[in-house]
Chains A and B, each alone.
Chain A
């Protein structure tokens, strides 16, 4: 999130797309409700009439996987009707940048497409700018031409949203382009879980830039994370291609040495020029006295990636017998991963598996799945019971980037221990092994692991993450104090500052006094970076330092100084004109990108159909994302008659992720006891089905049996003049726990986004019949 939950109350319009906060982020809805009381309008776009839709002023049904046309259509509307925020666009974005003359776009493909993907040479800036935005090759004109193809009629045909309704939504949302108005786009997995999920997010960011909605109170690109600490875990490099704090993981081919990494992973401009300071400090934290300038701070000890090690790639390798051991730590891929039947089969090839969780979850019990034959599975499974978040101390980072300390309420039951306890023992045992010798023991043996002997001291962990000066071990104030000479150590630069005062650590602060008047609550926990509650907040004011909306003034330049209601994301010691062209400090160009050459499948989002779809792509000959990552070939063909219905998965408030925690919670099982599938009345009529029938839902990956719910909340969509039925199912159930049911992800395809490999859970094809 660029903004935070409490800030939602300042929005004039919310556009919820691919998110269902009323169901999945109820506390977010507290602030939407507050904002609605002040006259804010809520738009919800979703294939289902969700709980959020029920609260919306305007609800747009749209077909799963058609977010890009929906969003580009709004951009087109804003440009064609001159509703975009021109002053913002000219000053704070790369709209005026002139792009390489050879850059082009034809029939669904951008220039430079070849066998192995795109050659991005033509996607570069020329270095010139046209502040009038008239140059035919300037980003704005390119964007205008690109989005012009998404007129309301075309969008309506693709999405199945009625044209009039769509226009009404365009009008309402594009209205936030007026200076001083704030539009807030709220999204979640409905946006990201597609083979073009990253481009879906890009579309949101671009629309927000176009309407001047980033960096202002009530605005923002607000990803509501899928679990309470998923923000924290990505910050701490849960993803395979990252080091802590979003530093790229060293690559065996491009970064074999520290010099390579330092050179290639550090951009020429933007705040990331400080990357070496962050990585060196991280290495100092990891290897302490062993990390010296002479040995490149032990850079060589860090493993280098040499390919795709994402979730689906890993399970593919497992299926091929290349992966022999597996730690499933707080993760339940047997329920949560795509093509779960194939994943279970793949796990049978493991020699051993360690599962660390609260209960004996499906992953731990994969060998006794209903479709498994335990006599033929040789995997040795170790189950280590751990504590839930109330049974251990530590931090949880919410979607708004607030790192909040949580104290332990009770001890974990029985033999269960906190994850940190397990990690501590595990590391010490492994180190002990390597101390006896090994192929390459140094990365383990020389690692700093100084959190206490018998019982870890979590404050020591926190201080290491916060960063400290090596000389005296005192916590650093924040990441601006980090150095690349080995004088500082810091586990995660982004977290730096959250525990900089041992007596009053910011992440433990719980002051409900709001000095900003805008609900920023700077003394309630710590928000990365540097307690900045709204990032890119230079955009909150005009180039001259005057707020767009004086009533919601995050900053104001008095002529001599800045009046500040948040931690500035710019140099506040200089007059506004000096920072006006550099509001997006993380980017080398310092300005927001409509045109982003870093993306795998193109600098602009373009509509492609999901891997499984009933329809041909009417925008171009390019049916699917040309760069999508496919990890299997069991996909239904376009327009499949065998699998005629669009299927999507969703969540319920009662259950959390794969249900590992919640399906063992009697109260929650009482509320939502078993797996079900929901369809429209029209489909039920057509198939002679009624509520509570047992039905079989099938895809090329397999089939599941579940109870049917027939609901007026799902209605068929008119897509390309064809009535399209959508089958909706939650994915929280599995064969373990108190509340059991079929695994929805047995059906989902192993197809991933081109940039992030996130699986396409949200749009695929299925059939449904009476069991």
Chain B
């Protein structure tokens, strides 16, 4: 199986601070992967390098054999941790924008999901609550037929019911050939849907394992995380 994402000696420093140090990693196709680590462990840095928003200090990252750039942006659908929707836009405008930007965007799928949330195409984004905006953003990202979805903290800011909705959206739109990488520290909520987990701490890779392997040892991912990251 060709890896969809591969890191070789990936290192990123910000001045004297090492955000990532010597990460070696391979992620295969057709999986839901959890990128797990405490706050400040390097999760977002790793995702930002994969989306070409940051460049590595040394080492490299490859997506489907390519360096992050124009080619990879066509196949990677990215949900940043921040809200980037323009408040003056209507839902219809943002759908139009995604359609213009991404060849693989499926507007019917997006409209259908928005309808189910009772969000109208005429709604102005500034009238939506924070949680609803996050859902809209996720719907846009999941409506692309990408090969790799990079979701940075998709469930961080929302209530438990909305969390369930978001996880259902991820499962429901998941294409078995695509890989979904979810970064989060809310492990208990996501562990049911993960195939594979990656633990990182202080910029280092601590563990990369299938979830079944962890559970076959009679442990939950949440339990193992607490063991590994005991303060």
A, B: real partners:
no
